[in-house]
Structure 1
Amino acid sequence: MTVHPGARDAPPAAPVETGTPSRPRSRFEQLTAMRFFASLLVMVSHAAMMPRTDNALSWFGRNVIDYGHGRVGFFFMLSGFVLCHAYEAKFARGALTYRAFLVRRVLRIWPLHMLVAVPLAAWFLWRIGTEGLPIVVANLLLLQSWIPMYDYFASLNAPSWSLSTELFLYTMFPLLVMLSRRRLQVLCAGLVIWSFVAPAVLALAGYGHVMDENGAVGFGYWFTAINPVMRLTEFTIGMVMCRLLRDGDDRHWLPRWADGAAIVSFVAAMVVFSSLRERIPDIFFNQAFYLPAVAFLVLALAEGRGRTSRWLAGQRTLRFLGETSFALYIVHSPILRRGFDVYYRLDAPMPLVPFAILLMGLCVAVGCIVHSFIEQPMQRAIRSWLDRPARPSPA
């Protein structure tokens, strides 16, 4: 099975000015840098799942880095944090409308999605025929994550399911951001509880595993991993943490060493998973299992007080790679899939692990090129068009 996560707003978005005088750092550069490592984890988990033979790469995938869709919660949580940080004040003073916000966010993710999805859709229709048209339409309109069928939510460029989910989060954000701090916290607490209750109920109902008894991706996987409403939990946690940091003035929620500890705990969660996957219904790993580690990681890095945060913030190359993470997310799955197809057609011309490393390096390089020469110019043009002065109405 190949399940592809990876959408976000925070990853495609540029670092945002904080506008908070009590905090000396003017940008969340450490979070930008961390986006690259999170994208890398997702890509490596996909690479590990694609080989057709049992080998060191597939062993690593099963026992260390599998379930990338659980860790994609980092991006949803970071998206809620960054959007709240960037837009809450604008909504509060009436400087931004619901419609204008949605237009900007859709134009942030949809053009690059179409750049990859359209050629894949043309190839898919040529191979499948017109019976594949509903799948193509759902994918191009970013509606696929609402459909609990693997052929839909994993169609074309499979990681785009998370863009579909992110689009739902965009529609909810203007409503959530107008809630008082207490009401948002109550909602967040309810969603966290639901994120643990839902998998338990599904497990009791016989939907506790990603794969059903026939080897197909089951309903429980869609409900806990792909379903946009379930992903609202991580998004809302990100918003709550943003408000905690902003409203806390000089209060520090975590010690200085917490950012390093958060990264260690995040990696440890991946390793612990391998020892628990046979004992716990695996749909718990789609979201619930990683919630504490992801929240700890985002909050610790957002505070930015420790040596790890300062080191990440000071690495110009890592910050650039973090800014390219949306492009990497968009392009990596087609490259990996076609690359492994060529590998097997050529009867494995070299050991698989070195080939996979070279292929992932190619993904990173293509992501950098797409970001620098397509995504950035396109976004500058879009911003220029959106920010153009309104024409005066005729007298």
Structure 2
Amino acid sequence: MFKSSTVPAPVGPLPTLSREGPLDALRFLAALFIVLYHVAERAPVSLFSLSPAFGRGYLATDFFLMLSGYVLARTYGPRVLNSEVDTLTFLKRRVQRIWPSHLVMLALFVAFFVLTSVIGLAPQNPQWFQWDQLLPQIFLVQAWFVPGASGWNVPTWTLSALIVAYALFPMVWRRVAATNRPLQLLAMGVCAWVAIDFAAFDVLGVHGYQLPLRFGLIRGVPLFMIGLLVARLPVTALARRQALPLAVAALAIVVGIQALGNFDHFSLALLAFLIYAAGASKPRAWRWAGAAGQLSFSLFLTNSLTTVVWFGLVRAVEAKIGLPIVATWVLWALAIPATIVAAWVFERMVDAPLQRWIKGRQAKAVAINATPARA
């Protein structure tokens, strides 16, 4: 399926990246699995004890990190090569995309903690609300080897790691785009990630995905780069024709082998292939997938606080009136649609308006700069 030329040549024009298609659907499914992973232990019977597969939600995080590298390379790669976007402009755009909504969500976390403390409700996990960890969270540097246990909006460690990946992206992509051996380069990238995983296990006794979140750069940046390398692979005619069957097959195998045991390295290779196949798909018009994919960022940002509030209310109800086991399971299951609803509200009321405001200011600045000065 992949064929490398023997003549060095820069990356050629790639097919238009499919929007409202498989990649958007996969983004949402991965976000949903991360939510399930976060609430698995809160079930009346821990889902981790029912099947070890539920404990592999870190694979969905790996998928997100690789997908970020892939999508940005396919979207911004040509503009970087044509010098339409420099490193500072690219980094500024990415920070403007993630930081404003992150700050709003962090403010909601602080408000929640202060309010519950005032009324005498102690958090179930006080280690998540350490004031000395707030400043690193605000500036998204908590994954840059900052001492202490990461807290507050814990999943944002990935954004902290991605900021560094964003800063490296233009330089790395220019070099990667010039290669005539993209498949070999991808194999080297995967081997480097495996080496990092084994080194973490040898030195610290844990796999890469189990490293403390303050070491997030070690995990996040290499996975982003793997996604970037996948984007460099040529999209062949065969890949375009069979994109959906290949993507479905890769997804089915990834899900299926989790029931058989822990095959993290093989799963990573399959996830990379899944991204390649889904990205090779012809443009679709799956409006539901586009809407779901757009919701995935808000779901990522909001799910931790939503579940803290939800299960806090469930505990309060249980303490007052008690609940039969069936009702407990129902309330636990309802936490998942509750996170989706909360994410939808946040996307409509916060994230989308913020992005419109930022783009409006940028458009005004461009218009002012483009207006010739009066004599």
* TM-score bin (small chain): 0.7 to 0.9
Check if 1:96 corresponds to 2:72.
no
Distance change (3 Å), C-alpha of 1:31 and 1:158: same
Residues 77-88 of structure 1 mapped to structure 2, 5 A cutoff: 77-88=66-77
Q: Give 5+ residue unaligned stretches, structure 2.
A: 1-11, 118-125
Check if 1:252 corresponds to 2:239.
yes
Structure showing greater Rg: 2
Distance change (3 Å), C-alpha of 1:112 and 1:25: closer
- Mapped to 1, the partners of 2:272 and 2:137 lie a distance apart of 30
- Mapped to 2, the partners of 1:181 and 1:363 lie a distance apart of 43
Q: Percent identity?
A: 23
Residues 140, 157 of structure 2: 8 Å contact kept: yes
Residues 123-272 of structure 1 mapped to structure 2, 5 A cutoff: 124=113, 132-147=130-145, 151-152=149-150, 155-179=151-175, 180-182=178-180, 188-205=186-203, 207-209=204-206, 221-222=210-211, 227-245=216-234, 248=236, 250=237, 252=239, 255=242, 257-272=245-260
Residues 162, 226 of structure 1: 8 Å contact kept: no
- Mapped to 1, the partners of 2:93 and 2:15 lie a distance apart of 28
- Mapped to 1, the partners of 2:233 and 2:272 lie a distance apart of 13
- Runs of 4+ aligned residues of structure 1 deviating over 6 Å after TM superposition are 183-186
Residues 1-395 of structure 1 mapped to structure 2, 5 A cutoff: 23=15, 27=19, 29-51=21-43, 55=45, 57-60=47-50, 62-122=51-111, 124=113, 132-147=130-145, 151-152=149-150, 155-179=151-175, 180-182=178-180, 188-205=186-203, 207-209=204-206, 221-222=210-211, 227-245=216-234, 248=236, 250=237, 252=239, 255=242, 257-272=245-260, 275-276=261-262, 285=264, 288=265, 290-304=267-281, 313-347=284-318, 349=323, 351-388=327-364, 389-391=367-369, 392=372
- Mapped to 2, the partners of 1:386 and 1:242 lie a distance apart of 29
- Mapped to 2, the partners of 1:197 and 1:240 lie a distance apart of 17
Q: What's the TM-score, normalizing by structure 2? A: 0.79
Residues 176, 184 of structure 1: 8 Å contact kept: no
Q: Which residue of 1 aligns with 2:3?
A: none
Aligned-partner SS, 1:144? coil
Q: What's the TM-score, normalizing by structure 1? A: 0.76
Amino acid at match of 1:105: R
Offset from partner CA, 1:243-262 (integer Å, 9 cap, x none): 2235x5x3538945312211
Amino acid at match of 1:387: A
Q: CA offset at residue 369 of structure 1?
A: 1.8
Residues 160, 330 of structure 1: 8 Å contact kept: yes
Offset from partner CA, 1:216-257 (integer Å, 9 cap, x none): xxx9822699521332232222222222235x5x35389453
Distance change (3 Å), C-alpha of 1:25 and 1:169: closer
Q: Which residue of 1 aligns with 2:120?
A: none
Aligned-partner SS, 2:259? helix
Offset from partner CA, 1:37-57 (integer Å, 9 cap, x none): 111100011110334x5x164
Aligned-partner SS, 1:366? helix
Aligned-partner SS, 1:151? coil
Q: CA offset at residue 335 of structure 1?
A: 1.1
Amino acid at match of 1:59: S
- Mapped to 2, the partners of 1:156 and 1:96 lie a distance apart of 34
Q: CA offset at residue 177 of structure 1?
A: 1.3
